[in-house]
Amino acid sequence: MPAIFLLGGQSPMPVSQGGQTAQLLPAAEVVIVPAAGHLPWHEQPGCVADALSRLRDLAGELESVG
């Protein structure tokens, strides 16, 4: 199952933590929203639509392979 970690580039939490967690999942990607802090979905709402579109694409790619 694909997963996307949506992280704010200006968040007080290190982006590397999201990357480390994503590495634990076989079909995960990290999306960094540069102009957002800890709540990128609130600060840059368009980033959610972009991430969901990418998640749909990932799911389609996995379905076609599997």
Residues 1-58 have pLDDT tens digits of 899 999 999 999 999 998 999 999 988 999 999 999 999 999 998 999 999 999 999 8
Amino acid at 38: H
CA torsion, points 29, 31, 37, 43, in degrees to nearest 10?
Answer: -120
N- to C-terminal Cα distance for the chain?
Answer: 11
The residues spanned by each domain of the chain are 3-12+26-65
Query: What is the rounded CA–CA span in Å between residue 24 and residue 39?
Result: 23
Whole-number pLDDT of residue 58 = 87
Of 36, 35, 27, 34, whose CA–CA distance to 54 is shortest?
27
Rounded CA separation 62/49 (Å): 20
